[in-house]
Amino acid sequence: MEKIIDEKQQGNSLVMEPKTENKRKLFIESYGCQMNFSDSEIVASILSKEGYNTTQQLEEADLVLVNTCSIREKAEQTVRKRLEKYNAVKRINPNMKVGVLGCMAERLKSKFLEEEKIVDLVVGPDAYKDLPNLINEVEEGRNAVNVILSKEETYGDISPVRLQSNGVSAFVSITRGCDNMCTFCVVPFTRGRERSRDPQSIIEEVNDLANKGFKEITLLGQNVDSYLWYGGGLKKDFKDATPMQKATATNFAALLKMVAEAQPKMRIRFSTSNPQDMTLDVIEVMAAHRNICNYIHLPVQSGSDKMLKKMNRLHTREEYFSLIDNIKKLIPDCGISHDIITGFPTETEEDHQDTISLMKYVKYDFGFMFAYSERPGTMAARKFEDDIPEETKKRRLSEIVALQQEHSKYRTSQFLGKTVEVLIEKASKKSDAHWSGRNTQNTVVVFPKENYKVGDFVNVKISDCTSATLIGEAVGYSDNN
């Protein structure tokens, strides 16, 4: 049976339904960040109007699209491996067309066509509306490339097809691009300059999701705290806005408040925050609204001031600590996670120890840790030698991973004997007799199913834990249902 849903415009609200007249089959898969997964839903929406339904079967696809990530070399290698697989399938199904979307498409542009003969189509993250034209070109036997980056939030008017959705949680994109220019990061080159989406279209999408029964949304952007709507245009051009535009501009704290108040029963999350852009008023809005989850993903990258400066992170270790202190003061039980890179150029054992002591101060709930991977074209690649031996990067990485494991276990054990509110998302991976969901701090909770169902808010009493999961038993519905 077709899994695919399509939308029909009805005023501002959108109705999902199977589109039986669609005859062509699209196989789309995504790698990298949540923004890529969200963008693939926009692509599916654009192509459903062109006669494509999605399929889970690669072998039956007329069109294969892979939404790619460039953040580390390994992410790119994974995509190259997938292209080999498509190549094998294409030998059996020679009419199948293959397109590359996302960050690798933007980074490599038409070079992709030379390097990977299987690729017919290369489309950057801001050019998906041009896909129907590009596919026509390909069908007429030409390769097609569009990697033009935009000055506007490009897809505010498109209602995404929710791919592989549990019908409970959804992503809503609010900003695109990044202006921060961290020296290690390829994102400003692949995603362009920062721009924000009209708050009205964000609220409409959130209301529409609520009407369809969704219970949780995550506001997405490379740097959500930097959100700024003043009528359109790049964030960097805000300085040239009219006095009226400046007076009526909407920042992230104001947007968060609007969304939380538009749907008081809906859980609101957001990602990713940048320490230098996160203001006190965002934390205050979180504290004042029960439906905004008590969880912040707050990448730090390093605990050494010297490294932070070299990475062009525009805050110090002390400033980061005072932000953490403010969060814990206003939201004592706030979950906090991090991203950290080991082995950035010139990182000494002392710098590494600074990272360890920063982690010990914060005791993060969880984190994402990476060995530095030099990315072509970035400031770091141009200015600094990648001088830390691979084995040193890896050793430091395993040290911080082990420490994080300890901290995660410490954090999960704080919940023992307590009752937490959980939104049920799916069956537990390990046992079909258990539900899996998350508490407000974003920690996974599993418990026996009983008569509860996906989408219920349930109070769960915690009796056991691992470093990553809370285990308990439901004690009744929460008052949020």
- Residues in the interface with ligand 5AD (CB under 6 A) total 12
Site string for ligand 5AD, 183-202 (x = CB under 6 A): -xx-----------------
Check the annotation: does 103 bind a ligand: yes
Does residue 375 bind ligand 5AD (CB under 6 A)? Answer: yes
Contact 226, 238 (CB under 8 A): no
Q: Which of 198, 197, 195, 217 is nearest to 207 (CA)?
A: 217
Q: Which range binds ligand SF4 by CB under 6 A, 29-37, 89-97, 377-385, 467-475?
A: 29-37
Q: Which does 184 bind (CB under 5 to 8 A by kind): ligand 5AD, ligand SF4, none?
A: ligand 5AD
Q: How far apart are CA 92 and CA 90, in angstroms?
A: 5
Nearer to ligand SF4, 106 or 354 (CB): 106
Q: Residue 48 or 301: which CB sits closer to ligand 5AD?
A: 301
Spatial CA neighbour of 363 closest among 398, 321, 318, 331? 321
The CA distance from 203 to 231, in Å, is: 16
Residue 269 in contact with ligand 5AD, rule: CB under 6 A: no
Q: Which amino acid does the sequence have at 476?
A: G
Give the three-class secondary structure for 307. Answer: helix
Among 71, 172, 182, 298, binds ligand SF4 (CB under 6 A): 71
Interface with ligand SF4 in residues 157-216 (CB under 6 A): 186-187, 190-191
Q: By the 8 A CB rule, do 67 and 105 touch?
A: no
CB of 51 to ligand 5AD, least distance (A): 36
Smallest distance, Å, CB 32 to ligand 5AD? 9
Using the minimum distance from each CB to ligand SF4, give the nearer residue, 36 or 55: 36
Taking the CA atoms of 412, 417, 422 and 424 in sequence, report the sign of the dihedral they define: positive
DSSP string, 366-430: EEEEEE----TTSHHHHHS---S-HHHHHHHHHHHHHHHHHHHHHHHHTTTT-EEEEEEEEE-SS
- Between CA 65 and CA 144 the distance in angstroms is 13
Interface pattern 85-104 for ligand SF4 (x via CB under 6 A): -----------------xx-
In terms of Cα–Cα distance, which of 126, 144, 125, 143 is closest to 30? 125
Amino acid letter at 403?
A: L
Q: What whole-number distance in Å separates Cα of residue 347 and Cα of residue 137?
A: 49
Residue identified by tokens 């004997």 is 417
- Nearest by Cα to 228 from 269, 198, 272, 189: 198
Options 46, 71, 104, 178; binder of ligand 5AD; rule CB under 6 A: 71
Determine whether the annotation assigns residue 293 to a binding site: no
- Determine which residue in the list 19, 25, 72, 269 makes contact with ligand 5AD, applying CB under 6 A: 72
Nearer to ligand SF4, 48 or 272 (CB): 272
Closest distance between ligand SF4 and the C-beta of residue 56, in Å? 22
37 contacts ligand 5AD (rule: CB under 6 A)? no
Q: What does the binding site for ligand 5AD look like in residue numbers (CB under 6 A)? A: 71-72, 184-185, 299, 301, 339, 341, 370, 372-373, 375
Which residues are documented as binding site?
33, 69, 103, 178, 182, 185
Q: Please state the residue numbers annotated as binding site for [4Fe-4S] cluster.
A: 33, 69, 103, 178, 182, 185
* Residue numbers at the binding site for ligand SF4 (CB under 6 A): 32-33, 35-36, 69-71, 102-103, 186-187, 190-191
